[in-house]
Structure 1
């Protein structure tokens, strides 16, 4: 073969390779115009990560925020903001609730404690949603703001389904909706989207897994009833005036949730239990996770000083600055007796039993510490971010769940042998020390969570790329109604085919009765003939 022919073959090979690469790249979306209506607090932390990626890819973002927002700044290089007035700081309201909630948990598990916690939580929900509904009404009555929103030609609304204000606004503006996170006004999004048999799908808050005996299935049904009651009688009334006055034909929150074009669920089936799903649910669990970056020099020196014993890190998330004083002192005394070094995010009163091996910090680079080879155990409250980062980096978890979905998150790790749960009411020096030592010295915990880490990372497409692709998909196609099922429009008796069953039972009954009638007629006729012959 001549040199010219060989060169031609190389050129052709390179051309074919480049062509295949170009074909494999999904179509890009020209910069979209996205209206973002987030929820403050830890939900915003995740929303911001997604906004950073959307901004980097050329999309124009407008964020609606409260005037007393505690995490969402008015000015940002990522977005322009629209600020609305709110009557009350949700941060103050939530802070008071959390302190009272922890106090009740320390009373110990009992039916009375459960009743107090449940009623307290329902009051918080009702009050918070009423405030958000009132704030949304004020926005809709501001004609200048509404005209500005209508004239801005947004491509979609990206919002948080845990509160309904973004849903109502999107409906009012007649825009496609992308929902971020799986938590809704009451419970978890799967339960309003996909078939959810209560025989093997645990209801949030029930503390159950997908393996339930008879008594546990009864408990699961009762918890589902509480959530239905909460949605129907606690939350829906908060939005009645808003829906009836501003949405043509009225609306209800569940229907608005079901009309969403795409749901970005911060979960996956390495973490969650297998269950039926829907084509417009996109699983982006761990989308915020990235390889660890180098630690600041002083923190790296502290970590390395632990030697072969390694490091334990502890944080209770963004909402809780400190545990009750007596609990913090018990935990500090256990840390002081361990050979490991400890990094503890703690903003409360400094524990009197603190040892020299424990470093108290106001903030820690959690992702980078979890990815550090010296980290042995993660003591955490069980928030979604921390749990998914622990899975990504393969660090076993000692969980102290405090509220909301935290126990359910930790339960999924514990069921797979990757975590151990300590209820706040049971935390003392003895139980905490036993839990820490169990995770440090039983290799199965680390092996199990590292297996989860390998499964989580083994994906054809990074979760963040999936999230951005589907947001851009909605922009390109002006929605995704073809991914929504028609089942939501069916009455319950049609959904379960009770009308069909009734028809079939009626037909069978008529057939049986007709057959019996024919036999009776024939028997009577034969008897009459027999009597005639005898006469």
Structure 2
């Protein structure tokens, strides 16, 4: 063997190529939300960088022509469907997650049908397409019909979510259902209700199982029919596909999440979208922030909730409160309806958020409680004021409040006084900043890189054609056994039976005693005889 051949072989072995190990992955990530998609993109691009071929169904394509073996199926039409959805701020306090899902469901099912109808996707799942995949990467959030692709391509499936798991998926994989635990974010949109704690816990218990029952008996069967329409009636039941998923990447990091027990197939990820290198600010914005020597306040309600959704009174109260601050204010506001603004308030329709949060003059970030924004704030050591609206936002803000780095206000009850006091307190108290810096240090102290870990687990499932060793047998048990309801029912029945017997015996003893007391001479004569 010549030295040239040896050199080539050595170079291939020593390089970062995964020669011969490349897999073909279908990633179905259909939710029309930038905050969801930024989490997924980093993992998709990293898998492609490792040599894997990806076909990605997404409403937010990266559109990078330099990428090789990276095909995107653009389903961004969902954003136009999303415009017809009701104002979520108006819904807050009136519906829980169960009610919100029922409001959104017609649009969600419409999206599912349109995605199945997409010409490029139809070519893939056509029975005669000849397409093969080694793995299905599936977003586990209100899109169950697409789990059927795992059966169509006979490939293992990994789930991924950009926030914590919803209760229905927790149930499906055998996770314990924690009805009143702060990690159960689906109860957060409920109106406050009674302050009597046992009653609230009972209500939480009922609402949790009500949602699980709806998901399993109404929601999944509806999407089963949609999947069968396009893939054939011989596809497995969605309940079984959900239960037997190989593993699920959950975007939850311990220090900034409420701890909860999980089965082995739940793998924590987090911080994927936080940039390693922040892009420079636009020159005009940088000039404003650099000159804000007393500090500045940044307000944004994210990509799904917009500041323009706020009621007119709330807008006026916020503007008045801002006018009393000694700080500059950068407010992401999506239209031109705000007029007569004070000199210290600057309105922008779009902001480079990570670059703004990284600026040293920032004092406080006012936000809606989104997990990605929370991660960005912690990564940059910026204290928070939360105005949660929906989904996991209440949970995220409450966690930040619990560790002393944030204050929480009710978005449907904003008033000038409370808003001003919250901003003044958080921006003016150095304790909030120091505690946030401590939280950042805790978040950064990890035993491994989260992205590297996610890639390893992905390739682990590909190598072994699934991960049945991570499956919890709890997922196979009926609900009443998981909650020990059968034992409770047995013990309750025994208690009732023994109570009835005790009462019956006591009753007989009382009757006998009464009889003896009523006829003492008769008894004495019997004894003499």
Q: 1:330 to 1:498 in 2, by over 3 A?
A: closer
Tell me if the contact between 1:157 and 1:166 (Cα under 8 Å) persists in the aligned partners: no
> Retained in 1: the 8 A contact 2:250–2:269?
yes
2:27 equivalent to 1:36:
yes
Q: Secondary structure at the match of 2:185?
A: coil
Shift of 1:83: 5.7
Identify which of structures 1 and 2 has the higher relative contact order when contacts are C-alpha pairs closer than 8 Å and 6+ apart: 2
Q: What residue is the counterpart of 1:192 in the other structure? A: 172
* Partner residue, 2:501: none
Q: Is 1:174 paired with 2:154?
A: yes
Q: CA deviation at 1:213?
A: 4.4
Task: Please name the residue that 1:56 is paired with.
Answer: 49
1:153 aligns with 2:146: no
Please, which of 345, 353, 367 is the counterpart of residue 358 of structure 1? 345
Question: Within the alignment, does 1:406 sit opposite 2:393 as a pair?
Answer: yes
CA distance in 2, matches of 1:83, 1:468: 24
Q: Secondary structure at the match of 2:140?
A: coil
- Report the alpha carbon displacement of residue 333 of structure 1 after superposing the two structures with TM: 2.9
Q: What corresponds to 1:314 in structure 2?
A: 299
- In structure 2, distance between residues paired with 1:322 and 1:316: 6
So what's the TM-score if we normalise by structure 2?
0.77
Secondary structure of 1:205's match? helix
**2:361 matches 1:382:** no
| Cα pair distance change 1:146/1:413, threshold 3 Å | same
Work out whether residues 328 and 344 of structure 2, in 8 Å CA contact, stay in contact via their aligned partners in 1. yes
Structure 2 partner of 1:121 = 100
Point out where structure 1 has 5 or more consecutive residues left out of the alignment: 1-21, 510-535
> 2:164–2:392: 8 Å Cα contact kept in structure 1?
no
- Contact conserved, 1:322 with 1:348, CA < 8 A, in 2? no
1:435 & 1:343 partners in 2: Cα distance?
17
The equivalent position to 2:466 in structure 1, one of 472, 479, 490, is 479
Match for residue 250 of structure 2 among 265, 279, 284: 265
Corresponding residue of 2:418: 431
Distance in 2 (CA, whole Å) between partners of 1:249 and 1:185 is 28
**What corresponds to 2:289 in structure 1?**
303
The correspondence of residues 55-454 of structure 1 with structure 2, limited to 5 A, is 55-65=48-58, 69=59, 71-72=60-61, 77-78=66-67, 79-82=70-73, 90-98=78-86, 100-105=87-92, 114-115=94-95, 121-135=100-114, 138=117, 144-147=123-126, 151-162=130-141, 163-181=143-161, 187=167, 189-193=169-173, 194-198=175-179, 200=181, 202-207=183-188, 213-242=197-226, 246=231, 251-291=236-276, 293=278, 295-296=280-281, 297-307=283-293, 309-323=294-308, 324=310, 326=312, 327-454=314-441
Contact kept, 8 Å, 1:313 with 1:375, in 2: the verdict is: yes
**More displaced, 393-402 or 237-246?**
237-246
Hey, what's the Cα distance between the residues in 1 that align with 2:316 and 2:260? 42
Q: Residues 157 and 403 from structure 1, CA distance in 2 versus in 1: closer, same or farther, beyond 3 angstroms?
A: same
RMSD: 3.9
Q: CA deviation at 1:139?
A: 6.8
